[in-house]
Amino acid sequence: MTRVFLLDVDNTLIDNDRAKGDLDREIRTLVRPDRAGAFWSVYEEVRQERGGVDFPETLRRFRRAFPDEARAGDVERAVMSVPFERYLFPRALDVIAYLWTLGTVVIVSDGDRVYQPMKIARAGLSRAAKGNVFVYAHKEDHLAEVQIRFPADHYVHIDDKASLLARTKERLDGRVTTIHVRQGHYASDPPAGPLPDLTVDRIADLLAIDPARFTA
């Protein structure tokens, strides 16, 4: 039986909440507090508008809104140089290596086309996934595409967002096991649909799960 693991990135493999907190602190050392606040307002505005985080667009709009900001270049450098390899959750790479012993690992992440692939590469995740990386603005709309590229008898979707797991469950019912990793600020959001098959508190917990449960 062929098995494909669909792995999310933000708050599943990378502690994005912590990375964002550290970036905020760094930006506050670069610009006045009201400018730092404005940066995150623009970030939220873009997120609402596009349905996802988009740092390149956030930086563009920030520069346009504050053409007088002398440190705009430093803010951009801070955003573009976040050392994501330091924000991997403990044992995230071990989990990927372990899942490779059970099937094929595919990263399926939400994000923009520039920053998100860079983040995934910098964290060492592209290499760990052997280049199997998909980045979409709304990944739930591309499940069919992923299935064509990676056909399998059974899928295992691992994500911090229970609502996304519910969408996958509805579409692949009987051919998918959904695993909710309760990390990050979406951890307690309701699933809005079928409940996850398994719930773990940390990505590292997957190392201790009986592999049979990935298919049951």
Q: Which residues bind Mg ion (CB under 5 A)?
A: 8, 10-11, 160
Closer residue to Mg ion (CB): 10 or 54: 10
Closer residue to Mg ion (CB): 54 or 160: 160
Q: Note whether 185 and 34 are within 8 A (CB).
A: no
Rounded distance between C-alpha atoms, residue 97 and residue 101, angstroms: 7
Rounded distance between C-alpha atoms, residue 56 and residue 66, angstroms: 16
Least Å distance between CB 89 and Mg ion? 12
Least Å distance between CB 157 and Mg ion? 11
Least Å distance between CB 21 and Mg ion? 16
Least Å distance between CB 185 and Mg ion? 10
Rounded distance between C-alpha atoms, residue 124 and residue 131, angstroms: 10
Rounded distance between C-alpha atoms, residue 197 and residue 190, angstroms: 14
Closer residue to Mg ion (CB): 30 or 181: 181
Report the candidate in 96, 105, 104, 130 with the shortest Cα–Cα distance to residue 206.
96
Residue number with the smallest Cβ distance to Mg ion: 10
Closer residue to Mg ion (CB): 10 or 69: 10
Q: In one letter, which amino acid is 70?
A: A
Least Å distance between CB 110 and Mg ion? 7
Q: Note whether 19 and 122 are within 8 A (CB).
A: no
Q: End-to-end alpha-carbon separation of the chain, Å?
A: 13
Closer residue to Mg ion (CB): 54 or 69: 54
